[in-house]
Every structure is written in structure tokens, then in C-alpha cells.
Chains A and B, each alone.
Chain A
Amino acid sequence: MMTVVVVQACARPVFLLCSLVLAIAMLILLFAPTALSADRGTENGQWHYLGGDAAHTRYSPADQVNADNFGELEEAWVWDGASFNAQSGRSTPSYIDGTLYTVAGPRRYVVALDPANGELLWSYGEPKTARYDYSMRKDYGKGVAFASIDGKLVIYITSPGFFLTALDAATGQPLQGFGKPVPVAGFPKTGVVDMLPDLVSDLDIESDPYNGIPLERGYITTSSPPIVVNGVVVVGNSHEQGYYQSRIENVPGDILGYDARSGEFLWKFHVIPRPGEAGHETWESDAWKWSGDVSSWAPMSADLERGLVYIPTNGVTIDYYGGFHPGNNLFGTSLIALHAKTGQRAWHYQLVHHDIWNYDTPTAPVLLDVNVDGKPVPIVVQTTKQNFAYTFNRETGEPVWPIEEKAVPASDVPGEKLSPTQPWPTKPAAYGMQGLTHDDLIDFTPELRKAAVASLREFKIGPLFNPPLHRDNDQGYKAALWCPGDGGGTNIDGPSVADPASGIIYISTQADCSSRIIASGEERDADIPHPTGKTFSRYASLRPDGVRGPEDLPLFKPPYSHIVAIDMNTGEQLWRIPVGDTPELVLNHPKLQGIDIADTGTGANAPMLITATLLIYASAASDGTPMLFAVDKKSGERVGEAELPESAHYGMMTYVHEGKQYVIAQTGRTLTAMALAE
């Protein structure tokens, strides 16, 4: 911004003015209050965003830990989140200006920790509300957001109760002059915004500060933190899991924008387009009025320079059945690019039309600058449960490589109307399993293969986008099996990471299928203590079902999970490695004696981290010992390993504090900091 002004001033032949402007600009830069530098967010050992930088690459240039010393990594400290009932370890801490910030526990406490020893510096917990009680995403907080306001660092979170809170990072106290007083006992007089009235303002719903909105209308909550883009706090949201829903009504997960300094409400983006709004025609009935979800629970990323925020969305209310909302249902299961300043849509792309597979867009869109066919292209890559990496010019929304609409099976479920086609990226090629045939099944021995085939008999299998099948079908199946399943493919338990220098993206994926017993919504409703909505869906998921492999072995051919490196300059896969070491259960299996088992991977996705010289990921050794593995970024060769005290999930980060590099593993209830032995 400053540069632009200077250039414009000097374009006029008024040299004195030019020098004056230059001088002023320099003075401002010199004496500006200690604002955070406008760098990526991971320079100088920092890790500002939960994804490292706003591009969510999870890349840090820190290089103290390298292939030669990786094996010397040991536990430096452990912070136990037990006092906050932490369990999930889903939050990736931020390291900003000498302090670590994270969220912990179902109340999504914000805590500040001493990065040298993990000691708790301060904590903030939101007071009680019934809105909080209902949330099914409580311990799913994934991190914090931040901004520099008047030279002071401010930490932002959105809570399970759907409040936006801003805290003074130095003290953990609610920010002065932010938000409005919330008329509920215990809430601070400042620092909090009740976002619910802003969400339902045009939905004709009453919102109560303590109780929220009436359950027959729906429920909304959050899990990922917001992201602050050029002074605007952009807020995503979450809903009840679609497989815990039985009734068709809910509220849409509209995206909200707030002023980072004052908390003033700025804009709202309708994720379900209203009449007159682009995409409204993809709602072929009036479901747009009363149905909802299309939430954005995965983290958002942002292009700060272009002022664009990238938002991954999920499907409409109720997973596995969408008969009540015919049409492609924009902007469900899409990638949306919004102008952060105005909330206006810059572009979008729907990844799955009329998604009923629970193919939630499960991880942050990753931004890279690459060269495709010799031309520089700013891209965004969206990896997914369905094992596609959808790639777009992040400015224009144009697919970098063609995405074709390909024919997919129709549904046999009464009332359901699926899209006859689905988008199919031509490049990069699918990086994991899609669909299932007998050829994909375990084949170490014919006997095992036979048993696997037999166990599949009650399930209808098929290609990618195999539709769910209702229980009372006339085809003799118990249910359908679709692959990848609910857990991916790629999922939030192993977010993709990328190297901005080389343009390589590293994607973790697991081999897994899902099945659900699809029965009447009414039958499912009996299991749900306090359902949202009021009208039973014709069909809903009664419960999960599935197929175990034979003799406790996995059902599929290996690898059971793997990491793929894709060069986003070319869309070509560079290499593929299994995640972790082959489990003992497989290695020592009595039925596999004498058979050469190649590295199979563990079957789980891997949290990853990328640094100047290494791809680091967390998994397990054959005997289950939690491990950190270091991999050469270019070749995929394993170059180091270190034992972890506990198994790590969901993410990892690194920072340099007082000259020492730490790697933080998210180890469930605890945070484990690893560093080189002194």
C-alpha cells in the first residue's frame, strides 16, 4: 500500500513532494508501533496461523533441525491440558512474538504458554450458556486467530457457543472496545460479539443470548478459528454432524465478517443463495428456505495481498440422503473465494454436486505460486476425502487443468435424485483409492482374498460416488459401501502441507470405505435426544456399518495409508511413501508367514510439517511406538526418525524461541515439544 502511494507521487514531476512522501513513509515504517511484520507468518521462527502462514502451507523456513540431527530430537517439555479437560489435541498452536497460543478442551479455553517450558501463562474460558451445551464440536477447536490492533497483539477465537471473542494477548483479558456486552451471567463487559443475531437477522428466527435459537429451526456452532484478513475477522462455522441429523430443517452456515478492532458486524455471505443471488437455481425446491448446513468447519486460508479468503464448505443438512433438496445445491461442498473486505463472492467451484456422501471439504485450501507451462500462476489446491486435489487459479477461479463432468451412478433410494455427473479433475491424477472393485481387496493369499470377497457380499460396491442404499431395498443388500468413506481419503487428521519454494504439495491419504444403514428419518430420530429441525427426513443414517478385513487384517491391498508428493507446477506425482511402518499385526500375522509384505503404512493419516530441508510427519513404528519421521522433500526417502512419548494427531508445528527450534506434536490431551538434546 505504502509503495503504491510513493510510486504514484513520484510519477508526477513534483520531486519535492515525492521526497517528502518517501521520507514520511520511511518515518512511519521506522516508528510504527511494533506491528507484526507483513511477512508470511513463519519467518524468524514464527508460526502465526494454525497453518503456519495464511496460505496454510504449514511450512516454516526454520532449519536448526535437519536430517543429520533429527535423531537427537527429544522431549523438551509437555503441557498437559487436563485442567481444561483437553482430549482431542486438534488445535495447532500459534507461536507469535515469543508466546504460544492454543485452545484446549470442550470449553475451548484459550491458553497462553511459555514456549521454553510449556508453563501456563494465562487462560480464558467462556462463561456457560445452553448454546454451548448443545455443541457437538466442543473439543474440535483447531487453533486461534490473531491481529495486531494499535500495536497490540490480539487473539481471536470463535466458540462452540457461537460467540466471537477477542483477547489482549499479553494478559488474556477480553479486548477493550470490542464487541458488545452479552446479557448473560459471567460474560465480560467487553471483548465478545454474539454472532447469532447477525447470522439469523434475515431468517426470521429469534436468537436468545443464553439459549441460542429454537432447535426446530436448527443449530450452529464452530470449530476452526476465524481468520483475520486485512482488518476483517472472517468467521466460518460448523453444524451437527450430518449423520446425527434426522430432520430436514436447519440454518445455513452463512459466512460472517467483523471489524477486527471494534467487533462491528460488516457483512454476511449466503452459502445458500437466495432468490436473485447467483446459484439460486441449483435449489430445485423450496428447501433453500428452511434447510441449511453448508458449513465451513475446515480452516480457511487467505491471500492477504489480494484480500481474498478461501472457504471450504460441506453438504446440506443430513448426510447420505438429499431427496428433500433436489438440485446441485450451491454452495454445498464447494470452494468459495470471497473478498474479505466486502464478503462478495469472487468465484466458487462446487467439488461435489448435491453431495450426499459426507464428502465435506475437510482441510484448508492451500495457496501456492507456481509456474504452469512456463507461466506464473497463483493457485489454490483443495485436497479432499475423495482423493482429488482440485486446483484453481486462486484469483480467477479457473481450473488450472481441466475438470470434466463425468457420469456417475444414479441412486435407487426412493425420492433421491443425484447429479448425473460429478466434477473429475484430469490433473493431478487421483492420489488415492476411488471406488472399490475386488481387485482392490487384500490378496496376500487366495484364501484371504476369498474371505474378503465373501465379507463384501451384503454390500453394494461400486466406483467413486457409489450411492448409499436404503435398508429396505429389493437388491438383497444390507447397505452400500462407498470408497473413500467418511474419514477419507484426506481428512482433518492429516492436513496437506506444501513447500512454497518448490511448489510441491504433500498429501496424506488413507484407504477406507464407509457404509451406513439407511433407514427412515423417524427411526433414526428416536435415537437422537434433542434433534434439530421438525420434519422427519424420509431417510437418514441409522448407524454406521462396514466390513472388517479377514482375520483382523485390513480389507484392502496396501498401502493402507500413504503420503503423496505432487509437483503443482506440473500436476505430476513425484513419489509416494507409506505412512509409518508396517504394523506388527500384519508383519507377524500367522496367515502371512513366509510372505514378503512390502511397507503397508499404518492405515492412519499423518500430521505433517514442512521445513527448509525436511518433510516431517508423525506416525508409528511397527510395534506401535509413536514416531516422528523425517523425509527428504524431493525424493521421499526417509532420512531420520525420533521417538515421540505419545501418538500425535491432527497437525504439527514448529517455532524457534530464544535460538532453539522446537517441534510441537499435538498428542491428544497434551502438547509435546521436541527439541534437539542439549
Chain B
Amino acid sequence: MKHVALQQARVLRSTFVIALALCIGGCLDEQDATTASAGYSEGPGTSDGQWQYLGGDSAHTRYSPADQINAENFEDLEEAWAWDGASFGAASGRSTPSYVNGKLYTVAGPRRQVVAIDPATGETIWSYREPHTRRWEYSMRQDYGKGVAYHEVDGRGVIYIISPAYFLTALDAETGRPLEGFGKPVPIEGFPQTGVVDLLADLGHAYDPYEGLPLEKGYITSSSPPIVVNGVVVVGNSAEQGYNQSRIENVPGDILGYDAKTGKFLWKFSVLPRPGEFGHETWENDAWEWTGDISSWAPLSADQERGIVYVPTNGATLDFYGGFRPGDNLFSTSLLALDVKTGKRVWHFQLVHHDIWNYDTPTAPVLLDITMDGRKVPIVVQTTKQSFAYTFNRETGEPVWPIEERPVPASRVPGEKLSATQPFPTRPAPYDNQGLTHDDLLDFTPELRRRMLEILEEYEIGPLFNPPLHRGNDLGKKAALWCPGDIGGVNIDGPNAADPTTGILYVTSRKHCSYRVLAPGAERDALIKEPTGSTIADWVVTPPYGSVQGPDGLNMFKPPYSRITAIDMNTGEHLWWIPVGETADRVLNHPDLKDMEIPNTGFGVAVAPMTVTSTLLIYAGQASDGSAQLYAIDKATGEQLARVEAPAVSSYGMMTYVHQGKQYIMLQTGSKLTAMALYDPDADSASVH
């Protein structure tokens, strides 16, 4: 509040008026101790050529209304610049940068350094690195950072990330310096005095700031950034991969909420319901006390107006075996809708009961507004590894089209008790293969089909939710094959895109099966250097494992091997599908397929990073010779309108932005970010020394 000279009554009066105006503006909202302060602003989303969230907008549509690049000039695209993250040890290219207020922001490298980049030239502006901790060392998600969160606090841009060591950091977006007045000092050398929240302090277990949680208890880390909604920073988390765990104890990946301005802890949502909490009965023994995971490593999305955040979760501790945790295990492998203000569950839907297939919910839930029977319906659609697009009214949680519980096979593994049924959406139809029958197998020639059947003999195949087998199973099989497998269907390397103007969802998926075999836990446990937990599980996946190759290196499936499917979410109908990229030369020229006409199979099993603009669906794929290409697709018909060579192969995502009147398409190309723009002859003659 301004101090004024008392003798200036007029000044005093006008000051009072100003103060009143400010108050009305929200600086003196009634607050109770657990809710967020105001002074926030939602931010631009994808308006004005911006790309605020890693998914573009908070609905995670990866849609931008930018229209400078169109079908006519698409082939004039060329590399404008590339930013090489090598100085930060970048390798994975998993991060989709945000473009806000004239700067690009991303994370890079195993330290998940936050980097601001000049959007016109690709030069580094500033970088921030979290100081070293043992907690960081242990993380197996170090280079899995998927982006940043950006929000405005008191008119200033703030960048938020969650680090592999599980700290929440807020940085001034202009300078990269830790935000003043945020969080609490962390008692570790090198940590800044402000700008950091130690999330472990609020997770609810005993811990050491430097070491983290005692490993016998478990381990928690993160990969996706938080999402900031209505002044609340909602923090998801990640855990060790379930197929790299051998012991049954871990901590649950509870969701945390913080004040975006001060970093004050606001709420926690228990992903593993305690006694008395809704869903607790889905834990039929005492595993709820000591087991965990149910992490939410995929990005979150949010409905800002309704103040709901959508959280995709994964299975409980241990992939492929859950005998020690009988019951449906809420809220594992679910879609959760939480009230962002209070952290309370608005609704949920469990996509897979007692998930032991590693059917992690692998991508952000996408929000759309559709029109059904003349009414506007706000929906959220969750695509998954298992090739289903589960669709709900995002306000009420009601499935838009019926989801039926259908019987699925039981497990032969001693001690395991699977759910007798699983949810099956009736619509939309699955967008890629589910389960495996002989009809799905390659059939270029009868000989190839025959050899494929031979290869398959040692595996137990079955429908969707085919259960894993253990060594020494009474079927005499090497392993069970489940399809889709670990890498989907849909997975994080190919997030969906959606067009909010039409309600069309574009899903990229692959055909894939996995096999893993369970063996007595001690064998795998011996191979793990520093396992979490203390009690070895009865059964643990043990090498060898993998996917099944067709004969002579061909893909085991009928083509297409990967595809993009357009689903009209107003009706649930598939509109069209196209393969991703072009048939690889090694297939076209394969000796077994001599003189045969091969349809477009797609290039291997690569899925497509995509973005949707006002006129185009743009995706990255590869031509037959393996060269990286960008494709411009007609959004309504799937027709390829144009194609241009890209400097490198992309994965995990793509984005677009408009900076100083110029539209760029940003490709995530491994250790580099590659920006494409329309050829500008003037840029050539700009004087550079």
C-alpha cells in the first residue's frame, strides 16, 4: 500500500480509489488457508501464435490457429535454425518447448536444465540447473522431461518444472532466476534461497533432503512438468519403471497442489485410497499400507473454466505381477478428474482393473467440446496403449458412449488374481490391433504366413488383456504375447492432436505385441543394483523379453505397421486413417517380397509427432529411404497435400509458434530442436561475420 503525505487529502482519496480498484481486481480476495491466492492469469494458450503448455493449450490439443504455413507454401519450408542441447547432455528430445511472450522454453539433459531459447535464432538465452543431490542420481527418468509449465504471477511470467530429484522449482521467465518469495530454503549446498519447494516434505513420508526417501520405502521422481490452473500448481510424478522393480513395497504417487505465487502447499490427493476413503475396498489385503506407484508420468490437462485437472495414472507397484495386491487397485491405470482448488476427486474412471500389463496411461487426456444430438457436450478423451479411446463427459465423468465390462482371461500365474472383466468402450472403435489372432499376421505369401505361425508356436496368444505367463507354465509356452504391448497402441512418443474447431481427434498408433515371462523374484532381484522396497515379489519379469519379429526381419503383422486415425468425436466414427510415412526400402526391396506390390505399410513402427493448425494436420515421418519428412495432410480427408524433407527424424512431439510475424514448426529431433520456417531470401544476405 502506498504511503502518502497526510496533508494531501485529494491524493489520499485517489489513492484509496486506486487501492479499492486493486482490491476488486483480486488482491484481497477472501481466502482460506488452503486455497490459492489470486493475481494469476490464465495465459495465452495457443492464441496469438503462442504455445503455452507442452500440449499447446491446457486441453492438450496440440492445435494452433496459426495459418501462415499452408498447403501451398508447405514445400518451401526449410530449416530456420537448430538448437543443439549437447552442452546440457540432451539426448532424448522428449520435451515439447513452450513459446510464450517472445521466448521459447524447454528442458534439456539428465539434469533437466531449464533453458530459454531465442525463437528467431535458436540461441540460448539463459539456463538453470538444479544443484546436485543423491535423489537426482537415482532417478531413471532424468532425461524424460517433457516440457515446462508457464504462468503469469503478478504480471510476470514464471516457469515451473519438477526435477528428477522431485523438487518443484519456479523461475522468473525473463531471467531464469529462482522466483522471489516462492517456496522455502532447501538445506542443501548450492540450492537457491528461494524458488524451490521440496515436494518430499509434503508427500508424507520420512525423508532426507539430500538422499531422498529410504529406498526400502520406495522412490519417487518426475518426468512431465506440472500444470498450473487457476493459480494452483498441480504436481504429478513418476516412478521407477514397473518392469525394473522386483520388490513389492513403494510409495504411492500422490498428487500435490501448490500456490503458484508462493509455493505454499495446498492439498494432496491420495492415489491409493486410505481406509475410509473412496475406493479403499478395491485393496483386498493390506497392500495399501506398503505398496505404491500409481504414478502420473504422462502430462496433465485441465479445464480452466471448470477448475478441473485431469490426471492419467499408471499401475500399482510391479508390472506383470500383482498377486500381492489383490483387488481392482483404485486409482491405478485410471483417469482422475480433480478439483484444482481443493484436490478433491470430482470423478474417476478406471481404464484397466488391477493392471498388470504395463498399460500405463501414456499420454495426456485431451479435452474437446463436441456436439451430440444437437447439444454441446464437454468431453475428455483418453487414448491408451491398449488402442482404446475412452471418452467421458469431462464434467460428470459419464462415458459419452457406453463402456461395457466384458469378461477377460484369467491368469495361470500362481497367486495372481486378475479382474474377471475389463472396461471395453463400445465407441469409438479401437484404432489399432487388439489381441492377436492368426488373421492379424503378415500374409504377403502363404509361405511367410506359415513361417510366422511357426515362430508363434512358442507363445501363448490371445485377445486383448491376454495375461502374462510364468516360467514352467502348464501350457509349455515360452511366454504369453499380449497385444498391444508395452509400447502401445498409443504411447508417449506419439501424443494425440485434436482440432477443437471440428471435434476431430487424430490418434497415432502402432501395431505391437510384447512378451515377458515371470520367474521367481529372487533371480531378477539379483540383477537390480539398488532395488526399492524390501520384500522380493513371488514373481517378477525376468529376461529374456521383447517383441516378436516376423520371418526374415519382416514385421509380424499385416500392414499398416503404424498409422494416424482421424476420429470424429462428435459421432465416435473413424473418418479415415493413413500409414505413418512410407514403406521402408528394406521392405520394398525385401527378397521375400520380390515382384510383389506392397501397399504403404508406414515406415516401420514409428508413430507420428503431430500438430494441427487452422488448415493442416502436420506430421513427421520418414520416406522409404529413411529420410526425415514433414507431411501436410488435409484435416478432413486425410489426403497428403504436400511433403518436404526435414533435417532430422522427430519423435515425441512437435509444436508451432509465430514469432515476429513468422511461423515456425518446431521439431523434436533428439538432442536438437529443429525449427522449420518458410524460405526467406533476405535472411540469406543478412550480414553475419
Contact = CB atoms under 8 A, between A and B. Distances in A.
A119 B111 CA distance: 9
Interface stretch (A77-85, A331-339, A581-589): A77-85
A82 B87 contact: yes
Given A83-B84, A83-B86, A529-B685, 11 more contacts: A82-B86, A109-B124, A120-B113, A121-B129, A123-B126, A123-B127, A127-B125, A134-B687, A173-B177, A186-B174, A529-B687
A107 B689 contact: no
Nearest to A241: B689
Given A120-B129, A121-B129, A530 B687 contact: yes
Interface string B188-211: 000010000000000000000000
B73 interface: no
Contacts of B113: 120
B88 A83 contact: yes
Nearest to A240: B689
Ranked nearest first, the 4 interchain pairs of A and B with the lowest CB-CB distance are A83-B87, A82-B84, A80-B86, A136-B689
A441 B125 CA distance: 51
A135 interface: yes
Contact of B124 (A125, A134, A135): A125
B123 A125 contact: yes
B309 interface: no
A10 to B, nearest CB: 44
Interface in A97-137: 104, 107, 109, 111, 119-125, 127-128, 133-137
Nearest to B671: A82
Nearest to B90: A83
A121 B88 CA distance: 9
A138 interface: yes
26 contacts: A80-B87, A81-B86, A83-B83, A83-B87, A83-B90, A83-B108, A83-B127, A84-B87, A84-B123, A109-B124, A119-B89, A120-B87, A120-B88, A120-B113, A120-B127, A121-B129, A122-B127, A123-B124, A123-B127, A133-B687, A134-B687, A135-B689, A136-B689, A137-B689, A188-B175, A530-B687
A84 B108 CA distance: 13
Interface in A367-404: none
B85 interface: yes
A134 B689 CA distance: 7
Residue among B85, B88, B115 with max Cβ neighbours from chain A (10 Å): B88
Contacts of A530: 687
Interface residues of A, number: 33
Interface of A: 79-86, 104, 107, 109, 111, 119-125, 127-128, 133-138, 171, 173, 186, 188, 529-530
A111 B88 CA distance: 11
B597 to A, nearest CB: 45
A173 B89 CA distance: 22
Contacts of A529: 685, 687
Contacts of B86: 80-83
A111 to B, nearest CB: 8
Contacts of A134: 687, 689
Contacts of A128: 118
Interface string B77-110: 0000001111111100000000000000000100
Residue among B87, B175, B177, B192 with max Cβ neighbours from chain A (10 Å): B87
B111 A125 contact: no
Nearest to B122: A85
A85 B672 CA distance: 12
A79 B174 contact: no
Given A107-B123, A125-B124, A135-B689, A81 B87 contact: yes
A513 to B, nearest CB: 26
Residue among A107, A119, A530 with max Cβ neighbours from chain B (10 Å): A119
Nearest to A186: B174
Contacts of B177: 173
B87 A79 contact: yes
A124 B176 CA distance: 10
Contacts of A81: 86-87
B125 A125 contact: yes
B85 A83 contact: yes
B129 A83 contact: no
A115 B644 CA distance: 43
Contacts of A111: 87
A119 B113 CA distance: 11
Contacts of A133: 687
Nearest to A139: B689
Contacts of B118: 128
Nearest to B689: A136
B350 to A, nearest CB: 42
Contacts of A122: 127, 129
A428 to B, nearest CB: 37
Nearest to B672: A82
A514 to B, nearest CB: 21
B330 to A, nearest CB: 42
Nearest to A111: B87
A137 B689 CA distance: 8
A120 B126 CA distance: 12
B660 to A, nearest CB: 12
Interface string B121-146: 00111110100000000000000000
A262 to B, nearest CB: 22
Contacts of A83: 83-88, 90, 108, 115, 124, 127
Contacts of A124: 126
Contacts of A186: 125, 174
Nearest to A113: B87
Contacts of B129: 120-122
A127 B127 CA distance: 13
Nearest to A669: B86
A52 B175 CA distance: 32
Nearest to B108: A83
